[in-house]
Every structure is written in C-alpha cells, then in structure tokens.
C-alpha cells in the first residue's frame, strides 16, 4: 500500500478530526446553553492552581447527596443519572438517582462518588469555574467570606444550564449578582 497516494485523503481527514474534536465539544455545550433549563447550586469554593488552564475558582461544598432506599446497591464509580430539581429555597439539589434515564425531569449523567446505607453521593461535575488569572483569587476570597460570615443572608451560587445529561456553568453569583460585577464594585470602593 502506498501511503503517499492516499495523502490527499488522509491529510484532510486528519485536519478534520483535529478541528472536529473541539468543535464537537463546543456544539454540545452551546446546545445546552441555548436550550437548557437554568439552575443555581449553592457553593463554597476552595483554591488550587492549574498551570495549563490558567486560574479558576474551585467549586466545592455543593450538596451532592441523594437519600434513597436502595443506596446500598450502588457501587463507587458506577454510571448513574441524577435528577436535578429546585428545593424550597429556590436552589438546585439532586432529588433522585437511578440507573435509567429519568424521563420528564432535568438530569445529569454522572458517577457515584460513594454510597452508604441510606444515601448516594454523586459527582456534581461542577468543579472549576475559570476566570481571568487576576480575578480568580479575588473571587475565591469574596465567595469564601460570603459563605462564612452569615450564611443565612449572603449566598454564593453557581449558575448552571442543564440539558440531556450535561451541566454547563454560565456564571458565579454572590447574593444573586454576577461575581465580576461584585469584584469590580469592590475594586472601585477600595482606593
């Protein structure tokens, strides 16, 4: 077989595969952003550093436990569907977990983090909120302060759109306002 003769076909195929992979990732997320249902998850971030992707806010403390009678039957790492719903305070929570698609609800496809006698903890898939490298640490501190001082009045939440098993973050909010607006106001207030 002469590879050179096939080059006019192989080269475009390779280019297409290399461009197509990220384009596919984009298309999936754009669909979720356009048609997905919006939810807000309460968060309590902490701080690491990822050299390859710049700074981000680490999303933690999101409630990921689902109380269910058959919790003991789930194994760590098992693929599951977690139903997303709104609680009484308006924030999102995982209301059910199952091995089959929960039709008629919003859900994400994820894995079991761990399971105990009466509850299943799922991977929220919401881990990193990327920001500009100068902003991320400030955002981290602002959100952590808010979570600590008086958690009843001030809340940090991540805004997420959910559709067909995928959750895409759109913003980080402090007391219902976008984090970048809050940071800009703080920067203006401190001389």
- Report if residue 46 touches other proteins, rule: CB under 8 A: no
Rounded to whole angstroms, what are the CA distances from 131 to 6, 54, 60, 91, 102?
44, 8, 16, 23, 33
Stretch that binds other proteins, among 46-54, 64-72, 86-94, 113-121 (CB under 8 A): 46-54
Residues 105 to 144: which contact other proteins by CB under 8 A?
A: 125-133, 135
Assign residue 176 a region (left: φ > 0; alpha: ψ between -120 and 50; beta: otherwise).
left
Pairwise CA distance, residues 126 & 60, whole Å:
8
Residues 48 to 107: which contact other proteins by CB under 8 A?
A: 50, 52-56
Question: Shortest gap between Cβ of 63 and other proteins (angstroms)?
Answer: 17
- Report if residue 39 touches other proteins, rule: CB under 8 A: no
- Report if residue 18 touches other proteins, rule: CB under 8 A: yes
Could you tell me which of 62, 81, 78, 87 has the C-alpha nearest to residue 115?
Answer: 78
Which residues of the chain form contacts with other proteins (CB under 8 A)? 3, 7, 10-11, 14-15, 17-19, 21-22, 25-26, 29, 50, 52-56, 125-133, 135, 168-169, 180
């Amino acid at each position: 077989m002469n590879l050179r003769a096939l080059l006019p076909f192989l080269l475009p195929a390779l280019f297409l595969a290399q461009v197509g992979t990220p384009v596919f990732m984009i298309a999936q997320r754009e669909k979720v952003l356009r048609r997905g249902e919006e939810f807000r998850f309460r968060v309590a971030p902490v701080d690491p550093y990822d050299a390859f992707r710049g700074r981000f806010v680490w999303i933690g403390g999101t409630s990921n436990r689902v109380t269910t009678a058959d919790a003991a039957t789930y194994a760590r790492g098992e693929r599951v569907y977690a139903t997303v719903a709104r609680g009484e305070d308006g924030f999102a929570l995982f209301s059910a977990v199952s091995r089959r698609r929960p039709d008629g609800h919003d859900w994400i496809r994820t894995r079991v983090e761990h399971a105990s006698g009466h509850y299943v903890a799922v991977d929220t898939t919401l881990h990193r909120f990327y920001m500009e490298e100068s902003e991320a640490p400030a955002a981290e501190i602002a959100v952590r302060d808010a979570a600590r001082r008086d958690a009843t009045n001030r809340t940090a939440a991540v805004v997420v759109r959910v559709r067909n098993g995928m959750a895409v973050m759109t913003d980080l909010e402090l007391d219902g306002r976008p984090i970048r607006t809050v940071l800009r106001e703080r920067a203006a207030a401190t001389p």
